[in-house]
């Protein structure tokens, strides 16, 4: 009874909190609108005309859900007679989990988030954990100052503190990381000051190095390598340094390092340690305030009284200063980015730049927004709620040349082209009826992180004798493998030169088989053989997954190593997923089976089965075409070069917000020929299902609503119907889809 009372109180609290937030947001919006209108009037301007319902609903879904509305969603909104429907739509979208998707993309672009944080792919688990962490912070509207502080003070392993991805992203480049940190959170570019005093700003090279000293000690680690080196015997080298020396293993340092890397590869680049190393000035430092190579004291570029005692600053000191309420740069840059996210341009341009508030487009508006942001406990979603409730968001968009954004007065939101992710996600809503596969990716990420934790425990369980024996075994195996691989590769090269394709393929397969066997040996020795020895209570405590019977995991392979050892990595992970998360895995399989069965029934209805097996073949073709289609936020990022997303300007995540909206010929080809675009006209696509059985005129209505979020205008209707009626013109449903897909209206947020 007591539990029921607590549950009821919790539900009531959540309901009243949500209801209370809406009037507060609208009040804040009204305050901002009032200041903006006054500022516009002083310049002889006013807000533009109110956008119609069709425009508003499409704009709202694109900004707050990252996709165009479905026909049903757009029609329901336009036909609603509720006077408050625009405010209600904003609240509904902001309260939905769909908001996480576009805002995650926004922050992934700012943080330059990569699924594979290093190019060799070994840090993929850390990248996945970092992605999941970011989505959770957005989902729970973590206060911005806490969010940033977690990033810059992160340390440990990717499963215990996923925010270490912020530093792993720039592993080995601590100075670059600090330069990008100041640009991202303080709107100050210190890149020039890495090499010399800034030519146009007040910052000196010493300022930059004093800032960098706070986080210089953050270093990517390899927990597996640390475990091994703690156990392996060593011998002294020159200058007091030590190196691993194993009796009976005749390997030079390079080859021994490679063997150790093989054994500990899964745990590489998935941890961060504070090493305490001291930053020194460069050898060519040329200013009078210090000598070259002198150690640098850690001091922030403002408020020097907060500096460290001695040379070694700490990330905690830096985080406290950076996110302090007394640091106006931090609040201004963040507030300006939120305004830009809502309306397409910042009150200060470029968006990431800090300028005196008097230089903002509407200084009083920015000052009020900063005040509200702080009053909202630095919660981004809460502050965005106020911005999207503004009259400004309900006005017609204003077309401004990209070079003139700095002069945009905000009579209305900026007319913008859809981002690569918005185009992709919008097309997905027209191809597949169910686009939410976040549960699938979340389960995959949890499995990868559990795998990493198991591997760490397995390696910690090794004693010195086992490690020495393991290294000896791997060294012998690697030496034999290398001789065979070199021989086979030489023969394969000869076969290729002789254009003997069959022999070349056969030899190439043999090389891959040797490499797979070696990898399987490593997995067996460092992982499977140790599973039964892991303490289940220790596993439960570390993983948070409960007291899973580890003997079940150990039984996943038999004496010959099957099925896990002998299979490729992806298959092994599937077995691990089914073992650790049986309920979730079963639900995933059930959902997949139900989707196939539903497709089969639909195919028999839409496609028909005049020819034996025709419906089944169409289901198979559609499944192959769409099985890997996922919302952009549920994909590895960035997409591979040449992918639809990259063609349309998805950021390569090399620089902050490096995405592009520039058009190109390849984009036209992608809209015509890509897999996702081709799926639009498949008879089982979400769009085709809505068009099935309708006259061409009815198809016009549905297609315009699907692509453009509005019904066709009378002139458009007459032109397209006339084209369809001409016998010599083959203007069918597929032609209509291509016309709308390539229209400017589809590609712009109006």
Omega of the bond leading into 632 within 30 degrees of 0 (cis) = no
The structure's pTM equals 0.88
CA–CA separation, 667 and 648 (whole Å): 6
CA–CA separation, 47 and 411 (whole Å): 4
Residue length, the chain?
Answer: 750
pLDDT of residue 610: 60
- Is 654:607 a contact under the CB 8 Å cutoff? no
Q: Which three-class secondary structure string do you get for 420-462?
A: HHHHHHHHHHHHCCCCCCHHHHHHHHHHHHHHHHHHHHHHHCC
- Is 550:451 a contact under the CB 8 Å cutoff? no
Tally of CA atoms within 13 A in the half-sphere of 660 that contains its CB: 13
- Is 381:342 a contact under the CB 8 Å cutoff? no
CA–CA separation, 502 and 495 (whole Å): 9
CA–CA separation, 583 and 39 (whole Å): 58
Of residues 479 and 500, the one with the higher pLDDT is 500
pLDDT band at 264 (very low <50, low <70, confident <90, very high): confident
pLDDT of residue 178: 93
Least confident of 2-6, 93-97, 234-238, 330-334: 2-6
| pLDDT at residue 2 greater than cutoff 50 | no
Of residues 468 and 292, the one with the higher pLDDT is 292
Taking residues 473-482, report their average pLDDT: 80
For 684-704, b where at least 16 C-beta lie within 10 A, e where not — what string? bbbbbebbeeeebeebbbbbb
pLDDT band at 312 (very low <50, low <70, confident <90, very high): low
- Other Cβ atoms less than 10 A from the Cβ of 627: the count is 11
Taking residues 358-362, report their average pLDDT: 88
Residue 417, SS3?
Answer: strand
Residue 557, SS3?
Answer: strand
Residue-by-residue DSSP string for 117-170: SSTTSTTHHHHHHHHHHHHHHHHTT--HHHHHHHHHT--EETTT-GGGHHHHTT
pLDDT tens profile 527-567: 777 776 777 777 777 777 666 656 666 555 444 444 444 44
User: Which has the closest alpha carbon to 301: 327, 281, 277?
Assistant: 327
CA–CA separation, 698 and 311 (whole Å): 74
Which residues are within 8 A (CB) of 499 and not within 5 positions of it... i.e. 6 or more apart?
Answer: none
Residue 749, SS3?
Answer: strand
Geometric angle at alpha carbon 689, from 686 and 694, rounded to 5°: 140
- Is 66:102 a contact under the CB 8 Å cutoff? yes
Which residues are within 8 A (CB) of 35 and not within 5 positions of it... i.e. 6 or more apart?
Answer: 362, 364, 365, 368
Residue 218's beta-bridge partner residues? 274
Alpha-carbon Rg for the chain in angstroms:
30
Omega of the bond leading into 705 within 30 degrees of 0 (cis) = no
CA–CA separation, 431 and 690 (whole Å): 11
Distance (Å) of CA 318 to CA 168, 175, 215, 314: 18, 14, 8, 6
- Other Cβ atoms less than 10 A from the Cβ of 624: the count is 10
pLDDT tens profile 622-658: 888 888 889 999 999 999 999 999 999 999 999 999 9
Taking residues 128-153, report their average pLDDT: 96
Distance (Å) of CA 117 to CA 65, 131, 171: 27, 11, 9
CA–CA separation, 389 and 371 (whole Å): 17
pLDDT tens profile 201-246: 778 888 889 999 999 988 887 777 777 777 776 666 555 555 666 6
Residue-by-residue DSSP string for 243-287: EE--TT----HHHHHHHHHHHHGGGEEEEEEE--PPPB--TT---
Cα torsion 280, 281, 284, 290 to 10°: value is -120
CA–CA separation, 577 and 582 (whole Å): 7
Output the average pLDDT for the chain.
Answer: 83
User: Which has the closest alpha carbon to 204: 216, 215, 190?
Assistant: 190
CA–CA separation, 373 and 325 (whole Å): 11
């Amino acid at each position: 009874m007591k539990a029921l009372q607590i549950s009821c109180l919790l539900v009531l609290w959540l309901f009243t909190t949500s209801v209370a937030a809406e009037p507060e947001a609208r009040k804040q919006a009204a305050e901002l609108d009032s200041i903006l209108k006054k500022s516009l009037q002083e310049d002889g301007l006013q807000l533009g005309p109110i956008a119609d319902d069709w425009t508003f609903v499409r704009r709202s879904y694109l900004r707050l859900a990252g996709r165009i509305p479905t026909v049903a969603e757009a029609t329901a909104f336009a036909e609603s007679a509720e006077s408050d429907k625009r405010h209600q739509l904003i609240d509904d979208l902001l309260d939905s989990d769909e908001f996480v998707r576009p805002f995650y993309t926004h922050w992934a672009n700012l943080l330059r988030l990569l699924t594979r944080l290093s190019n060799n792919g070994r840090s993929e688990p850390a990248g996945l954990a970092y992605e999941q962490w970011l989505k959770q912070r957005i989902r729970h509207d973590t206060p911005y100052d806490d969010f940033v502080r977690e990033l810059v003070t992160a340390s440990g392993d990717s499963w215990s503190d996923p925010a270490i991805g912020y530093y792993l992203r720039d592993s080995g480049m601590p100075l670059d990381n600090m330069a990008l940190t100041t640009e991202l959170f303080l709107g100050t570019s210190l890149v020039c000051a890495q090499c010399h005093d800034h030519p146009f700003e007040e910052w000196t090279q010493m300022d930059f190095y004093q800032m960098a000293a706070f986080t210089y000690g953050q270093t990517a680690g390899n927990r597996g390598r640390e475990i091994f080196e703690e156990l392996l015997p060593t011998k002294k080298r020159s200058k007091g340094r030590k190196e691993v020396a194993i009796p009976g293993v005749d390997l030079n340092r390079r080859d021994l390092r490679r063997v150790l890397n093989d054994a500990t590869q899964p745990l590489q680049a998935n941890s961060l340690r504070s090493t305490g190393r001291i930053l020194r000035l460069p050898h060519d430092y040329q200013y009078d305030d210090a000598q070259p190579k002198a150690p640098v004291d850690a001091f922030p570029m403002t408020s020097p009284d907060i500096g460290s005692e001695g040379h070694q600053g700490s990330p905690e000191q830096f985080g406290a200063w950076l996110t302090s309420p007394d640091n106006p740069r931090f609040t201004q840059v963040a507030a300006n980015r939120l305004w830009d996210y809502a309306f397409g341009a910042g009150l200060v341009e470029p968006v990431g730049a800090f300028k005196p508030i008097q230089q903002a487009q509407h200084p009083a508006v920015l000052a009020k927004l900063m005040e509200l942001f702080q009053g909202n406990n630095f919660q981004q979603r809460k502050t965005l709620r106020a911005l999207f409730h503004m009259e400004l968001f309900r006005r017609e968009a204003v077309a401004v040349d990209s070079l003139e954004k700095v002069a945009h007065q905000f009579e209305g939101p900026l007319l913008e082209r859809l981002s690569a992710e918005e185009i992709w996600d919008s097309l997905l809503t027209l191809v597949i009826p169910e686009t939410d596969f976040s549960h699938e990716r979340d389960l995959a990420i949890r499995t990868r992180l559990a795998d990493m934790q198991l591997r760490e425990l397995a390696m910690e369980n090794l004693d010195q004798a086992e490690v020495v024996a393991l290294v000896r075994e791997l060294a012998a195996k690697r030496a034999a493998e290398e001789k065979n691989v070199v021989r086979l590769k030489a023969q394969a090269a000869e076969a290729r030169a002789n254009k003997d394709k069959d022999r070349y393929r056969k030899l190439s397969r043999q090389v891959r088989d040797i490499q797979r066997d070696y990898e399987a040996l490593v997995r067996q020795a460092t992982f499977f053989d140790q599973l039964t020895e892991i303490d289940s209570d220790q596993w439960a405590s570390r993983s948070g997954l409960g007291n899973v019977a580890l003997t079940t995991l150990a039984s996943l392979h038999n004496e010959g190593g099957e099925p896990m050892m002998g299979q490729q990595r992806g298959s092994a992970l599937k077995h691990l997923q089914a073992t650790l998360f049986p309920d979730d895995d079963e639900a995933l399989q059930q959902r997949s089976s139900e989707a196939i069965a539903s497709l089969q029934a639909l195919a028999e209805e839409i496609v028909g089965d005049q020819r034996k097996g025709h419906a089944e073949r169409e289901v198979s073709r559609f499944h192959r075409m769409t099985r890997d289609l996922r919302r952009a936020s549920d994909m590895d990022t960035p997409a591979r070069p040449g992918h639809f997303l990259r063609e349309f300007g998805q950021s390569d995540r090399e620089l902050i917000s490096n995405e592009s909206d520039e058009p190109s010929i390849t984009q036209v080809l992608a809209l015509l020929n890509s897999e996702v675009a081709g799926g639009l006209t498949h008879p089982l696509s979400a769009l085709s299902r809505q068009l099935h059985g309708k006259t061409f005129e009815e198809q016009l209505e549905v297609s315009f609503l699907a692509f453009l979020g509005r019904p066709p205008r009378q002139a458009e209707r007459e032109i397209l119907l006339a084209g369809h009626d001409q016998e010599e013109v083959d203007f069918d449903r597929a032609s209509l889809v291509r016309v709308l897909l390539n229209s400017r209206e589809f590609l712009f947020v109006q």
